Chains A and B, each alone.
Chain A
Amino acid sequence: MQASRTQAYLRSIHAIVWKDLAAEFRSRELFSAMFVFALLVILIFNFSLQLNPRERQEITAGVLWVTFAFAGTLGLNRSMAIEKDRNCLDGLLLAPVDRSTIYFGKAIGNLVFMLIVEAVILPVYSLLYNVNLFNPGLLVVILLGSIGYVAVGTLLATMAVQTRTRDILLPILLFPLILPVLLSAVRASAGFLQARAMTEIWPSINLLVVYDLIFIALAFMFFDYVVEE
C-alpha cells in the first residue's frame, strides 16, 4: 500500500516534469529569455567594471551568482505564468494527488531549466573573465545553490503568480529570502575559484546544504496553503 502510494507520488512528479520539459523544448520561450538575459548581464558587468586581473578574480563569483539569480527570476516567473495564463494551475489542483507533488514537479522542472542555462552560460563566462570555472567543487556549489534558489523561488512564484503584480512581486519577495543561499554560494564559489583550503570552504557548503533542506521542508509544508483559494 505504502509502496504504491510512493509510486503514485513519484509518477505525478514525473508527469509534471515531463509536461514542463516537453512544452519548453517545443516553444523554447523560457530558455531563450533566460539565456539572453544572463548573457546581457554578463556583458554589462564585463564592460562596465574596468578591473585588473586580480580584482576581476575576486568578484567573479559574485557576478556569476548575480547573473544566475537574475536569469532564474525570469525563468521562475515564466514557468508559473504558463500555469496561470490558461488557468492550468486549476487543472493541476483538480488531480487526485497530494499537492506537494505539484510543488516538487514544478521545482524540479525549474531546476532543470536553470541548470541548462547555467551550463550554456559557464563557458561564455569562463572566456570573458578568463577563469577556469570547470572545477568539480564549483559545479557542486552551483548545483546546491541552484537547488536552494528554485526551492524557495518555486514557492514564492506560485504565490506571486496569483497576484496582479506578479512580475514585480517575485523579485521583491525572493531576493531578501534567498540572500543566505546566495551569500553561502558566493563564498564557496570564490573559495574554489581562488583555490583556497577546503577547511575554509566547508562551512559555506554546509550552510548551503542546511538552507536547501530548510527551504525544501518549508515549501513542502506551506505549498498547500499557498494554492488554497
Chain B
Amino acid sequence: MIAVKKLVKRFGHKTVLRGLEFRAEAGEFIALLGPNGAGKTTFLRVLASLSSPTIGEVRISGFLLPGQSAEVRRRLGVVLHEPLLYGDLTAEENLTFYGRMYGLADLPERIAATLELVGLRGRSRDLVRTFSRGMQQRLSIGRAVLHDPDVILFDEPYTGLDQDAGNMLDSVLAAISSQGKTIVMTSHDLARASALASRFDVISRGVISASGLRADLGPERLLPFYQEAVRAG
C-alpha cells in the first residue's frame, strides 16, 4: 500500500530525512514514534504530497510521488496539526466544499454518514469557529475520510485535546481502523499509540531506527523499545 525507498528530504543545507525506508500493507495501523525534530512531520508531509522528496522513491497504492500526485491524493486522507477547516462555514458547508473539490457523488448522504461517524450530526449547521478543539479535530477527521480513502495519515491528532476529547478521538480512530483502512499516525503519546496501532516504527535522526509489532511488544515493553530505538538512532 505504501512503499518508500531511500527517501532523502533536504531544506537548503539541512537534511531532515536521510535515506528512510518504510513499508505499510493494507489494513495496517502504524504509529510513527520519535522525539521532536526526528522528521516525523516531514515524512508525513512527503507521503501527503505536500512536500516533494529530494531523492528516493515514494509509492502509495502503486502511484509514484510526485509524478502521480493527483492519483495519490484521491486515495489519501490527511489530518494535520491544524484542522484545515473554515471557521466561517458550518460543519456541513466545510464538508460540502471538500466533497466538491474531490468531485464526490451522493454528497448529502456521504456528509450525513461522515458526521454520524465523528459524532457531530447534531452540530452540522453550526459554524466551525464555535467548535471546541476536540470537535474541530473530529470534523477534520470527517473531512479526511469523506472521500473514502485507502490510506489515512494523522499528524499528532491528540495535540491540544483534553482527556474526554482524546477518548472520543480514540473511538473515532478505532472505528476508522475497523473499516480496513491503512493508517499512519505520528504521536508522542505512547499509551494511546499502544492501544490503537498494530505496528510501531520509531523515527530518529531522519531514519526508521526500529520497528515492532504490538503482538510482539505489548504495552509494557513499548517504552523500553522506544527509548532504546531513540538511543540507537
Interface residues of A (CB under 8 A from B): 8, 11-12, 14-16, 18-19, 22-24, 26-27, 82, 86-88, 90-98, 228-229
Contact = CB atoms under 8 A, between A and B. Distances in A.
B89 A228 contact: no
B165 interface: no
A133 B45 CA distance: 51
B100 A11 contact: yes
Interface residues of B, number: 31
5 shortest interchain CB distances as A-B pairs: A91-B84, A87-B82, A15-B100, A95-B101, A23-B88
A14 B103 CA distance: 12
Contacts of B51: 229
Given A8-B103, A96-B71, A18 B84 contact: no
Given A19-B89, A23-B86, A229-B50, A96 B73 contact: yes
B89 A86 contact: no
A90 B143 contact: no
Q: Which of B51, B81, B82, B86 has the most CB of A within 10 A?
A: B86
Contacts of A88: 84-86
B78 A94 contact: yes
Nearest to A27: B88
Interface string B61-74: 00000000011011
Interface of B: 45, 48-52, 70-71, 73-74, 76, 78, 80-89, 93, 97-98, 100-103, 127, 143
A91 B99 CA distance: 12
Given A22-B89, A94-B49, A87 B80 contact: yes
Contacts of A228: 52
A23 B98 contact: no
Nearest to B42: A229
B105 to A, nearest CB: 12
Given A94-B73, A229-B50, A86 B87 contact: yes
A229 B76 contact: no
Given A94-B48, A97-B70, A12 B85 contact: no
Q: Which of A18, A26, A98 has the most CB of B within 10 A?
A: A26
A228 B81 CA distance: 19
Contact of B102 (A22, A26, A86, A96): A96
Nearest to B82: A87
Contacts of B143: 91
A116 B52 CA distance: 39
A97 to B, nearest CB: 6
A15 B52 contact: no
Contacts of A24: 88
Nearest to A91: B84
B101 A12 contact: yes
A86 B97 contact: no
